[in-house]
Amino acid sequence: MATDLRLKESLPALTERIVETYEECGVMNHLGHSPLPSYREIVDILGDFREILYPGYCRKQNLHMGNVAYHVGALIDSLHDRLTQQVSRALRHDCKAKDLETDFDAEAQVIAIRLLESIPELRRTLADDVQAAFDGDPAAKNFNEILFCYPGLAAITVFRIAHELHRLEVPLIPRMMTEYAHGKTGIDIHPGATIGRRFFIDHGTGVVIGETTEIGEGVKIYQGVTLGALSFPRDELTGEILRGAKRHPTIENEVVIYANATILGGKTVIGHHAVIGSSAWVTRSLAPYTQVTIENPKLRYRGSSEPRTEDIGALDYQI
């Protein structure tokens, strides 16, 4: 197939037109500045964390108590350096935007050490999450299946790492981590959310958990659940959205939320041991042990010789 050189000669002019938009649409550029965190590097860092959190289930096989300390030690040493570099980049970018100056590398090293120091407790928390998945899903044959196959555990693992960085006030990187998990699992958890132990997301696709959501211990949710904002508070003078306000619901201990349920609002509190049925829409607080269901849905059949409507009644939910 011959190449038409006359068409190719138009490419330099096309390049000029594209570059012109870099000034016109400057909000989408990062040119002439210090480097931002590397998305590829953040993903690789998450892979190393998974190696440490779940040894033997990831890249490195044939680990045992005789060699695992060497393997983990090498990963920790590498993570220290890589985290320090990436966090320093994030801090530098954030501070320049606010016209602040600081020793970015020193601050980043302290943050990297604190994150690495959280790993023992992270493992204890994730062990509870794995147990909750096994206890809450009769289809789970063993823990290996959960660790290899369950998207809910993959998403909550990334979230718990990202939440530690969010708590340490690291910009950009926590969202980069959770959005990576979102793309891989279909589960969207903001790193600012607060989630207690023994958390289980069954199936998971389409789950959304907003930034100021608070979730207690032993909570179980299914696919399509949204824990979102009912409205956005705005400044009375400027009309701009007030950021940082409590916008998302509070879910107390041992609550079960079934598929496609929506719970909205920063003042909405779901009391402990409540059960929210499928497709329910909840915008007000509920007392403990409340059960919410959509009553008497109907199925309508058309196209048959005798069109009919059936009342299928309220559904019973088992915890």
Same domain, 144 and 104: yes
How does residue 23 score in pLDDT terms, banded at 50, 70 and 90? confident
What is the model's pLDDT at position 313? Answer: 56
Q: 26-40, 53-67, 118-132, 298-312: which has the minimum mean pLDDT?
A: 298-312
Residues 145 and 199 in one domain: no
Q: Which of 191, 206, 134 is nearest to 157 (CA)?
A: 191
Domain assignment present for residue 2? The answer is no
Question: Is 10 a member of any domain?
Answer: no
If asked whether residues 218 and 90 sit together in one domain, one would say no
| pLDDT band, residue 1 (cuts 50/70/90) | low
**147 within 8 A of 54, measured Cβ to Cβ:** yes
**How far is Cα 107 from Cα 95, in angstroms, rounded to an integer?**
12
The pLDDT score that the predictor gives to residue 107 is 95
Average pLDDT, the chain: 91
Indicate whether 298 and 212 sit together in one domain: yes
**318 vs 289, higher pLDDT:** 289
What pLDDT sits at residue 235? Answer: 66
pLDDT bucket at 125, cuts 50 / 70 / 90: very high
pLDDT of residue 317 exceeding 50: no
Last-in-domain residue among 148, 163, 186: 186
Dump pLDDT digits (tens) for 192-225: 999 999 999 999 999 999 999 999 999 999 999 9
- Does residue 49 sit in the same domain as residue 178? yes
Residues 6+ apart with CB under 8 A from 212: 192, 193, 245, 246, 247, 248, 266
Question: Do 38 and 179 have their domain in common?
Answer: yes
**More confident site: 129 or 1:** 129
15 domain residue, yes or no = no
State the pLDDT at residue 98. 57
Both 33 and 179 in one domain: the answer is yes
Say which residue the tokens 């928390």 belong to. 125
> pLDDT of 225-278, one tens digit each?
999 998 776 766 777 777 778 999 999 999 999 999 999 999 999 999 999 999
Q: Is the pLDDT of residue 140 over 60?
A: yes
Residue 154 main-chain phi, psi, to 5 deg? -60, -45
Same domain, 172 and 197: no
Specify the number of domains making up the chain.
Answer: 2
Who wins on pLDDT, 233 or 121? 121
Question: Do residue 57 and residue 135 come from a single domain?
Answer: yes
Tokens of 114: 């604190």
pLDDT in tens, 94-107: 775 555 567 899 99
Q: Which of 133, 131, 89 is nearest to 112 (CA)?
A: 89
DSSP the chain: ----HHHHTTHHHHHHHHHHHHHHTGGG---SSPPPPPHHHHHHHHHHHHHHHSTTSSS--S--TTTHHHHHHHHHHHHHHHHHHHHHHHHHHHHHHTT----HHHHHHHHHHHHHHTHHHHHHHHHHHHHHHHHH-TT---HHHHHHH-HHHHHHHHHHHHHHHHHTT--SHHHHHHHHHHHHHS-EE-TT-EE-SS-EEES-TT-EE-TT-EE-SS-EEETT-EEE-S---B-TTT--B-TTS--S-EE-TT-EE-TT-EEE-TT-EE-TT-EE-TT-EE-S-B-TT-EE-----EEEE-SSSS-EEEE--PPP---
* Cβ neighbours of residue 289 closer than 8 Å, sequence gap 6 or more: 271, 272, 273, 274
Same structural domain for residues 177 and 197?
Answer: no
pLDDT at 318 over 70: no
31 and 178 fall within a common domain: yes
Is 12 domain-assigned? no
Query: At residue 301, what are phi and psi to the nearest 5 degrees?
Result: -105, 130
More confident residue, 188 or 98: 188
pTM of the model: 0.88
CATH of the domain at 259: 2.160.10.10
Lowest mean pLDDT among 12-26, 70-84, 149-163: 12-26
> What CATH number is associated with residue 124?
1.10.3130.10
pLDDT, one tens digit per residue, over 286-307 is 999 999 999 877 888 887 666 6
- Enclosing domain of residue 30: 25-186
Residue 18 domain-assigned (yes or no)? no
Q: Please check whether residues 134 and 217 belong to one and the same domain.
A: no
- The pLDDT > 90 percentage for the chain reads 74
- 6 domain residue, yes or no: no
- Greater model confidence, 295 or 178: 178
